[in-house]
Amino acid sequence: MKKFIAALMAAVMFAVGQAMPVGKGNDIQPVRAEDRVEMTKGAGQVLPDGDYMIKSSLNYGIYITTDEKVYTEEDKHTPVHTSNLDLSWGKHSFRLTYLNNGYYSITQTGSDMCFDVPTSSNGVEDGKPVEFYMKGSTPSTNQQWSIEPTELGYRIRSRYCSKCMQIIKVWDAMGGRSDIGLYPQDDRKDQAFTFIPYTPEGNEYDKPVNVDDYYIRSAKNGLWVDAANFPPFTEGTNIDAYTLNDDSFKIAFQLGGYYNICEKSSYDEEYQNRLMLGIDLGKYKNDFYQTENDRSSEYAEGARNVQLYKIQDRAGEIETEAQKWLPIKNSDGTYTFVNQANGYALTVEDSYNISARIRDGSDSQKWYLRKVGRIPGDANEDGDVNINDVLMIQQFIAQWKVYINEDNADVNGDGNVNINDVLLIQQFIAQWDVILK
């Protein structure tokens, strides 16, 4: 009996270990709620390594920054604070590096100066400012941070003292400058931040998606991004998930690395009637609930509506940020669409609703792209999917000198043409219940 109990406990411990979140490449594993605040191991890898702008959830126009470049040891103790966006030399860009222990180091892009908790004989009192300091070969616990998803954004917590980064003097933040200090967790909006993937201004190379017309399909439920009702659409039209009914979108690259996703029936060359997929930021985009005299808050829920908008939002502000998306390709051939205004990802909520939510790496935030006019499985481009396509793909795999449309032949969406695609097409021809991507 004792041996049986020991074996059973070992199996349970193995299963628990298998369920722990692990980050890999551009993929993110969903973080369990019970892992988000356990500071003995941090929150795990909730965002891929990379360069990000860190924006305050208090106001979508306020970013974490520094006044100057802090590239050398002489720049240590430079304070971390907030300011309005200035892309003149990328001073708002910070590199997240996962340390494989539940925590990140956060450095200014292009330097070894990282976020650091200053220490003294008094310990870390409330309001202690966060500073830049030279990163060690192995970052000390003063330089390790847990990034924890919440409904308002991400909480950034110090491993050293378990206190959270917080905007100080939030009532002054309208003026564009406020220091960052450390306080106990209190779930207020001044402790919430969003991470916007950073792409250098003017970067036109290594585009993740070619400019073209696409259908967009959910990896979670197989339904397609669809504008509600029928064209002609108007501004404010809801975006839903629905069966494929020829509602396509032109995905067009913009300077700065982000893309517009334009509903195709509204597309024109002169930008007169274009309707873009965008987030409804509503009254929350410039709200300051916390003031000097009132620290209580009512918060917006985590989800944001996704609708069709003209090139700017309803208030005519924030230029086009709420209508710009970064398509990040995942290792399984899907894409995650991250919004430039708040770093939220395009998300299918249930059978039909689509929103934008904090990025979590789940299948609900993964999407397949199919070019308009593409016929999955039609490797020989004769307009049909049949045994001839199977034979052609087999010859291609065997390295015969044959031409196939590799995009059509890759029916499982993994970016490769191999025997797995052949098997799927054979099942499709035999009328099995399979989907060619």
DSSP secondary structure string for all residues of 121-189: TT---TTEEPEEEEPPSS--GGG-EEEEEETTEEEEEETTT--EEEESSGGGGGGT-EEEEEE-----G
Q: Do the Cβ atoms of 54 and 63 come closer than 8 Å?
A: yes
d(CA 416, CA 424): 13
Band the pLDDT of 108: cuts 50, 70, 90: confident
Instruction: Report the range of poorest mean pLDDT among 59-73, 200-214, 389-403.
Output: 59-73
pLDDT at 418: 93
**Domain locations in the chain?**
22-197, 212-287+301-371, 374-437
d(CA 380, CA 382): 6
Band the pLDDT of 106: cuts 50, 70, 90: very high
Query: Do the strands 367-371 and 212-218 form a parallel or antiparallel pair, or are they unpaired?
Result: antiparallel
Query: Do the strands 81-84 and 276-279 form a parallel or antiparallel pair, or are they unpaired?
Result: unpaired
DSSP state of 78: P
Band the pLDDT of 201: cuts 50, 70, 90: low
CATH topology of domain 22-197: Trefoil (Acidic Fibroblast Growth Factor, subunit A) (2.80.10)
Do 22-197 and 212-287+301-371 fold alike per CATH? yes
In this structure, the number of other CB atoms found within 10 A of the CB of residue 400 comes to 9
Q: Check residues 246 and 436 and name the one with the higher pLDDT.
A: 436
d(CA 383, CA 1): 65
Q: Check residues 60 and 291 and name the one with the higher pLDDT.
A: 60
Query: Do the strands 113-116 and 81-84 form a parallel or antiparallel pair, or are they unpaired?
Result: unpaired
What's the half-sphere exposure (Cβ side, CA atoms, 13 Å) at 418?
Answer: 6
Residue 277, token pair as written in the block: 């997929």
Residue identified by tokens 């890999």 is 24
Nearest to 245 by CA among 232, 233, 229, 261: 229
On the 0-12 / 13-18 / 19+ scale of CB atoms within 10 A, 232 is exposed
pLDDT over 70 at 234, yes or no: yes
Residue identified by tokens 């997929």 is 277
Q: Give the architecture (CATH level 2) of 374-437.
A: Orthogonal Bundle (1.10)
Instruction: Report the range of poorest mean pLDDT among 6-15, 127-136, 170-179.
Output: 6-15
Q: pLDDT by residue (tens digit) across 279-325?
A: 876 544 444 333 333 333 333 446 788 989 886 544 444 456 888 89
Instruction: Report the range of poorest mean pLDDT among 37-41, 90-94, 111-115, 131-135.
Output: 37-41
d(CA 378, CA 411): 10
d(CA 246, CA 249): 10
Q: Where are the alpha helices (DSSP H) in 342-415?
A: 387-397, 406-409
Residue identified by tokens 């196939």 is 404
Q: Which helix (H) or strand (E) holds 74?
A: none
Q: For the domain bounded by 212-287+301-371, which CATH number is listed?
A: 2.80.10.50
Residue identified by tokens 């409904």 is 151
Cβ-proximal residues to 368 (8 Å cutoff; 6+ apart), any chain: 216, 217, 218, 219, 333, 334, 335, 413, 437
Taking all residues of the chain, what is their mean pLDDT, rounded to a whole number? 77
Q: Which helix (H) or strand (E) holds 198?
A: none
Query: Do the strands 113-116 and 93-98 form a parallel or antiparallel pair, or are they unpaired?
Result: unpaired
pTM: 0.74
d(CA 279, CA 315): 13
Q: pLDDT by residue (tens digit) across 171-190?
A: 454 455 677 889 999 877 78
